[in-house]
Amino acid sequence: MSRAAALPATPPPPVREFGFEPQDHRAIATLVYDELGILLPEGKAQLVYGRLAPRVRACGLTSVGEYVKLIERDEAERGRALDALTTNHTSFFRENHHFDDFVERMWPGLVERLNSGGRVRLWSAACSSGEEPYTWLMAALGTDKAAAQRLLKRDFKLLATDVSPSVLETARAGRYPAATLRTVPAALRSAWVRGTGDALSVDPLLTEAISFLPLNLLGDWPIKTRFDTIFCRNVMIYFDDPTKARLQSRLADKLEVGGMLYIGHSERLAPEVARRFECVGRTAYLKVSA
């Protein structure tokens, strides 16, 4: 057999229900970058097609090119397209060392403040379907529900935001497949999870303690308060360096001096932002200057 004959054949292009041209991908990638800061290089073309094909079908169109023209003029459908193209991968107690660090480093002082009549403000800045903020409360409050109820009646607020309306619906409902909740430690699961069978619910005490609101991290923030701790994890991996730096600077501005910022395990602070923080753990940063 000749050397040329031994080379693998070029794989055929994927068979697609709808027309999808390179310029269609470029138009969508530009829209997503401009709106959300998310990078969608050419290598993501099949992912983009797979996520938009159901919307093309639902709109009765024959090509992604037609869909691109539709979302240029139809704001509601553009929102549905952006929702379909956002990645929402999360789990209960994901990167658990952050919750352990918060409970040890920050929570005792915040509890003392609450009990003294002060206020506490926390922000889960890319909450997805709610597993992160629910984990955060479970880890902080522990298994004593009576003590938890007393604390939550004080001046305590946990804001949880995401750009995706569909995942926020799941988060507000607080209802998850039983398999999803297996990563919750048994004692906390016994205290805070209700129901039997394949679908379980988070205790209403937790759902009522969290304000789930839509927010584009790259858009305007109608947020006047500063926070004692911010979780913004595993969202900046989709951004380019200038976008990351701008977002991190805005997060730092919204954090009290002495507050904590937690980011994803593969994320790092931009040098100009890192100067305002002290790294005190794995991707855990204490704000030390304004």
Q: Which residue has the higher pLDDT, 196 or 52?
A: 52
Q: Is 17 annotated as a binding residue?
A: no
Q: For residue 179, what are its two tokens? A: 């398999």
Q: Is 253 annotated as a binding residue?
A: no
Instruction: Judge whether 16 lies within some domain.
Output: no
Residue 211 DSSP SS3: strand
Clarify whether residues 81 and 108 are in a common domain.
no
Q: Is 96 annotated as a binding residue?
A: no
Active site residues: 51, 162
C-alpha span between 95 and 97 (Å, rounded): 6
Q: Domain tally for the chain?
A: 2
**Segment 85-93 mean pLDDT:** 82
Clarify whether residues 277 and 155 are in a common domain.
yes
Burial 20-47 (b: 16+ CB within 10 A, else e): beeebbebbbebbbebbbbebeeebbee
| pLDDT tens-digit series, residues 110-136 | 999 999 999 999 999 999 999 999 999
Burial class (CB in 10 A: 0-12, 13-18, 19+), 112: exposed
Clarify whether residues 108 and 145 are in a common domain.
yes
| pLDDT tens-digit series, residues 219-251 | 999 999 999 999 999 999 889 999 999 999 999
Q: What is the CATH number of the domain that holds 32?
A: 1.10.155.10
Burial 177-201 (b: 16+ CB within 10 A, else e): eeebbeebeeebbebbbeeeeeebb
Average pLDDT over the chain reads 92
Clarify whether residues 69 and 198 are in a common domain.
no
Domain that holds residue 57: 22-85
Q: Is 217 annotated as a binding residue?
A: yes
Clarify whether residues 117 and 167 are in a common domain.
yes
Clarify whether residues 103 and 246 are in a common domain.
yes
Instruction: Judge whether 175 lies within some domain.
Output: yes
CB 218 within 8 A of CB 125: no
Please give the order of strands across the beta sheet that includes 193-194: 175-177, 199-202, 193-194
Q: What is the CATH number of the domain that holds 201?
A: 3.40.50.150
Instruction: Judge whether 4 lies within some domain.
Output: no
| pLDDT tens-digit series, residues 263-288 | 999 999 999 999 999 999 999 999 99
